[in-house]
């Protein structure tokens, strides 16, 4: 995996360097490791960044190359570029790892820190990665399919890149077509091509390298910083504080990520990582066993006790370091070669012992323990990489003694050195395994506590939702508003619990294989159950919120119409009072005015309230709803009064007279008695019938607008 990551970084960094050379008007490089060995191209790159002309030695000897590289390193130090254990000989020799480290230091300084220094100063922050993650999360907040918590796994499906671009430039493409209809590689290609075509960002990443279980963090950081440079850079303090609550990210040597995506508002990923960082013998360790299921997925590694038993006490060898032993054994074995190799190994042992001691005590905070676990995981991989060197030195020492060309004192000295080396290696190995075992135990205990706490919270919340669901909605506006506030409190609790779910995003599971399949099956069942229950609560919360908002709008509409009707009624009452106080020539004139007023009152007072009430009847229950219906129907006698107006003499003006009623219309009048002695939900059908008949009975007029007559 390290080789794969090295290949990805080589491709990405080469593209970045060539993009800079294109800006500076320089020729491209072909091989990152070879083209920088003489130092000249490295100085050309620094000339572009510093704006200074740097003298270069044009000779082709190693001395000329070392001088050029030394000058480049001095320029970097002068510009406060962080260089850790990188020497000129490393670059001249074409050391892959340190050459990549040098280029990354340059990228970090001029691509990341330099681009972000102004906004970091404004926010009084020093962590550029945290600022960048805050910007990404704030930009993609309105995309429920996207949840960026790191610069590795959160980007592998391509959604985050597209959401980041779309949030600032929604005019460039249709989000749904990209998010729902394309594969991960297609989405990544779309994002990179869009950024190149419309934002001027070079296609530094290959989609196939990102659409993996664990893409390269440095490559993604470099590209996202390029997006940050050309897109709006608003970042709030709240976004930064949110990032600080996310699980800490640290180096992971090998993991398998299975993402859980829910479309609900509060959904989150539950992912489990596989760690393999143990020192091992030449025979490959058993592969982890994977079990898949609906919402979560777990992978397991052997316990440290079992792995520890695979260590031989001496003559260790590792396949990746056989080249060291081969080169040492191919030449004539002499005491000087042995002493040089021994000193190198002892120096490494001393620094490794100090590194183990510097790890400190195991924390009681689960996130800090995870970070310690991954740090120690890298430490164990370091042991794996160097164990072959220890074994080779011991083999060379044994061969020197076996040849018989040494004096007795020299043989005794070599034997003592071998015993010391073997003893220190064994002590380091045992201490490392004990530390790993303790980390595993404490980490599993803390994670099990989190699982238990999440399970308890889910149980309480499930009871809470059942109680809420058992209570009827409403039945009046004030009760409904109270229920809305109650639901908001539930949503806040859900958002707070989301932090615990985030903490389980990279759960590390270590299972002793001696326990068999029962232990793994039990854990799988527990994780699946928690995932199902969390998803169910998320869906219920979202559905309940939509329903409450729908009913609340209906009630508010009903209240507004009732308010309008009250105002209208007051106005008409005033008109009626003025009619009684105004002198008329005769009774017919007064009667005509009353007829006009009655015809206007009936349609508005009865049918506007009735239409609003019918839309609410499916959501009403209990005595209050029936009382509302009974009050509404108390206005029905006005229908008879209005109808009687047509028999008065002299007849009112024709535009105010209602047309003849249909024969079946009076059959609707027994409705109140029927409804009030039966379930309230049965009221909707007959009320709807009245509303359906009304437009054909009462024709719209200039007094009553048509939209008030049609339900």
559: Cβ–Cβ under 8 A, 6 or more apart, which residues?
477
3 state SS for 188-214: HHHHHHHHHHHHCCCCCCCHHHHCCCC
The pLDDT, as a whole number, for residue 556 is: 82
The pLDDT, as a whole number, for residue 15 is: 92
The pLDDT, as a whole number, for residue 326 is: 37
Structure tokens at 349: 């042992």
The pLDDT, as a whole number, for residue 168 is: 92
Distance from C-alpha of 645 to C-alpha of 599, rounded to nearest angstrom: 9
DSSP line for 45-86: HHHHHH----------SHHHHHHHHHHHHHHHHHTT----S-
Continuous H helices in 504-636: 516-581, 587-602, 609-616, 623-633
H or E, element range at 273: strand 272-273
109-to-114, 233, 615 alpha-carbon distances in Å: 6, 19, 64
Region 461-479 average pLDDT: 83
Answer with the residue of higher pLDDT: 711 or 100. Answer: 100
Confidence of residue 220 (pLDDT cuts 50, 70, 90): very high
Confidence of residue 385 (pLDDT cuts 50, 70, 90): confident
pLDDT at 432 over 80: yes
Using DSSP's 3-state secondary structure scheme, residue 286 falls into: coil
H or E, element range at 299: strand 297-300
CATH fold label, 125-252: Actin-binding Protein, T-fimbrin; domain 1 (1.10.418)
For residue 650, is the peptide bond before it cis, meaning its omega torsion is within 30 degrees of 0?
yes
100-to-34, 81, 96, 210, 364 alpha-carbon distances in Å: 12, 15, 6, 18, 36
What is the signed CA dihedral for 209, 212, 213, 219, rounded to 10 degrees?
30
Using left for φ > 0, alpha for ψ between -120 and 50, and beta otherwise, residue 51 falls in left
Q: Do domains 1-114 and 125-252 have the same CATH topology?
A: yes
pLDDT at 120 over 80: no
The pLDDT, as a whole number, for residue 331 is: 36
Chain centroid to CA 636: 59
Per residue in 179-204, pLDDT (tens digit) is 886 788 999 999 999 999 999 998 99
Domain segments of the chain as ranges: 1-114, 125-252, 312-440, 551-708
The pLDDT, as a whole number, for residue 275 is: 32
Distance from C-alpha of 655 to C-alpha of 651, rounded to nearest angstrom: 11
DSSP assignment, residue 301?
B
Answer with the residue of higher pLDDT: 569 or 369. Answer: 369
pLDDT at 614 over 70: no
- Pairing of β 272-273 and β 507-508: parallel
Task: Look up the pTM and report it.
Answer: 0.39
370-to-355, 362, 456, 577, 655 alpha-carbon distances in Å: 18, 10, 23, 82, 83
Per residue in 336-355, pLDDT (tens digit) is 778 888 888 888 888 888 88
Distance from C-alpha of 103 to C-alpha of 42, rounded to nearest angstrom: 9
pLDDT at 110 over 80: yes
H or E, element range at 491: helix 477-503
Per residue in 565-592, pLDDT (tens digit) is 778 778 767 766 665 445 667 667 767 6
The pLDDT, as a whole number, for residue 666 is: 37
In sequence order, what are the beta bridge partners of 300? 289
261-to-252, 265, 266, 447, 531 alpha-carbon distances in Å: 22, 11, 11, 21, 11
Average of per-residue pLDDT values in the chain: 71
Region 23-40 average pLDDT: 89
pLDDT at 235 over 70: yes
pLDDT at 89 over 70: yes
pLDDT at 533 over 50: yes
Region 230-258 average pLDDT: 59
Distance from C-alpha of 589 to C-alpha of 586, rounded to nearest angstrom: 6
The pLDDT, as a whole number, for residue 638 is: 43
pLDDT at 236 over 80: no
Q: At what angle do helices 217-230 and 128-139 cross, to 10 degrees?
A: 70
Nearest to 55 by CA among 26, 80, 75: 75
Q: At what angle do helices 609-616 and 684-697 cross, to 10 degrees?
A: 150
Answer with the residue of higher pLDDT: 77 or 285. Answer: 77
What CATH code would you report for 1-114?
A: 1.10.418.10
Q: How large a percentage of the chain has pLDDT more than 90?
A: 12
Answer with the residue of higher pLDDT: 19 or 666. Answer: 19
Structure tokens at 325: 């032993």
Nearest to 54 by CA among 63, 42, 66: 42
The CATH architecture assigned to 312-440 reads: Up-down Bundle (1.20)
349: Cβ–Cβ under 8 A, 6 or more apart, which residues?
390, 421, 424, 425, 428
Is residue 489 exposed (0-12), middle (13-18) or buried (19+ Cβ within 10 Å)? Answer: exposed
Confidence of residue 446 (pLDDT cuts 50, 70, 90): confident
DSSP line for 367-383: HHHHHHHHHHHHHHHHH
Per residue in 32-83, pLDDT (tens digit) is 899 999 899 999 999 998 888 888 887 788 888 888 998 999 899 888 887 7
Are 388 and 316 within 8 A, CB to CB? yes
505-to-9, 143, 562 alpha-carbon distances in Å: 26, 19, 52
Answer with the residue of higher pLDDT: 505 or 527. Answer: 527
In sequence order, what are the beta bridge partners of 292? 297
Are 686 and 671 within 8 A, CB to CB? yes
């Amino acid at each position: 995996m390290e080789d794969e990551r090295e290949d990805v970084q080589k491709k990405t960094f080469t593209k970045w360097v060539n993009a800079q050379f294109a800006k500076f008007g320089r020729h491209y490089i072909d091989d990152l490791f070879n083209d920088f060995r003489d130092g000249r191209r490295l100085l050309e790159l620094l000339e572009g960044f510093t704006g200074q002309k740097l003298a270069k030695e044009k000779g082709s000897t190693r001395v000329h190359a070392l001088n050029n590289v030394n000058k480049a390193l001095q320029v970097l130090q002068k510009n406060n570029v962080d260089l850790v254990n990188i020497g000129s000989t490393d670059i001249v020799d074409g050391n892959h790892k340190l050459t990549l480290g040098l280029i990354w230091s340059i990228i970090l300084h001029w691509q990341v820190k330099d681009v972000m220094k102004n906004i970091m100063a404004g926010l009084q922050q020093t962590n550029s990665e945290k600022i960048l993650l805050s910007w990404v999360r704030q930009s993609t907040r309105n995309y429920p399919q996207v949840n960026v918590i790191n610069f590795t796994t959160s980007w592998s499906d391509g959604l985050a890149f597209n959401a980041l671009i779309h949030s600032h430039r929604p005019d460039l493409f249709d989000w749904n077509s990209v998010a729902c209809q394309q594969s991960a590689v297609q989405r990544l290609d779309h994002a990179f091509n869009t950024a190149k075509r419309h934002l001027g960002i070079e296609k530094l990443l290959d989609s196939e390298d990102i659409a993996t279980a664990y893409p390269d963090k440095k490559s993604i950081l470099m590209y996202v910083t390029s997006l940050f440079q050309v897109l709006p850079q608003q970042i709030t303090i709240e976004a930064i504080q949110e990032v600080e609550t996310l699980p800490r990210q640290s180096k992971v040597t090998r993991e398998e990520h299975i993402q859980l995506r829910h479309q609900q508002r509060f959904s989150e990923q539950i992912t489990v990582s596989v760690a393999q960082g143990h020192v091992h013998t030449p025979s490959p360790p058993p592969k982890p066993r994977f079990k898949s299921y609906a919402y979560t997925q777990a992978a397991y590694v052997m316990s440290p006790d079992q792995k520890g038993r695979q260590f031989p006490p001496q003559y260790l060898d590792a396949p990746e370091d056989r080249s060291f032993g081969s080169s040492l054994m191919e030449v004539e074995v002499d005491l000087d070669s042995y002493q040089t190799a021994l000193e190198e190994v002892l120096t490494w042992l001393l620094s490794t012992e100090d590194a183990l001691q510097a790890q400190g005590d195991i924390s009681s905070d689960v996130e800090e323990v995870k970070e310690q676990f991954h740090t120690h995981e890298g430490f164990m991989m370091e042991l794996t990489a160097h164990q072959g060197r220890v074994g080779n030195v011991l083999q060379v020492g044994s061969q020197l003694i076996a040849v018989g060309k040494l004096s007795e004192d020299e043989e005794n000295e070599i034997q003592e050195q071998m015993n010391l080396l073997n003893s220190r290696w064994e002590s380091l190995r045992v201490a490392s395994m004990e530390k790993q075992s303790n980390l595993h135990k404490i980490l599993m205990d803390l994670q099990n506590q989190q699982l238990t706490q999440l399970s308890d919270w889910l149980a309480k919340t499930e009871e809470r939702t059942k109680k809420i669901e058992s209570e009827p909605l409403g039945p009046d506006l004030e009760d409904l508003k109270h229920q809305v506030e109650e639901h908001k409190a539930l949503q806040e609790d859900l958002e707070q619990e989301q932090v615990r779910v985030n903490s389980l995003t990279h759960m590390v599971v270590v299972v002793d294989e001696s326990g068999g399949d029962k232990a793994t099956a039990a854990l799988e069942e527990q994780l699946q159950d928690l995932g199902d229950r969390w998803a169910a609560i998320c869906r219920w919360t979202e559905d309940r919120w939509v329903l409450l908002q729908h009913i609340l709008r209906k009630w508010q509409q009903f209240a507004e119409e009732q308010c309008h009707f009250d105002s209208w009624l007051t106005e008409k009452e005033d008109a009626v009072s003025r009619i009684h106080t105004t002198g008329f020539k005769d009774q017919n004139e007064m009667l005509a005015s009353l007829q006009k007023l009655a015809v206007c009152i009936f349609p508005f007072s009865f049918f506007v309230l009735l239409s609003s009430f019918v839309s609410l009847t499916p959501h009403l229950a209990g005595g209050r709803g029936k009382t509302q219906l009974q009050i509404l129907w108390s206005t029905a006698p006005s229908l008879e009064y209005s109808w009687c107006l047509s028999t008065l003499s002299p007849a009112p003006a024709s535009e105010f007279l209602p047309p003849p009623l249909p024969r079946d219309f009076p059959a609707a009048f027994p409705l109140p008695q029927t409804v009030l002695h039966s379930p309230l939900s049965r009221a909707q059908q007959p009320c709807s019938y009245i509303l359906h008949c009304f437009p054909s009975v009462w024709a719209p007029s200039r007094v009553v607008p048509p939209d008030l007559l049609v339900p």
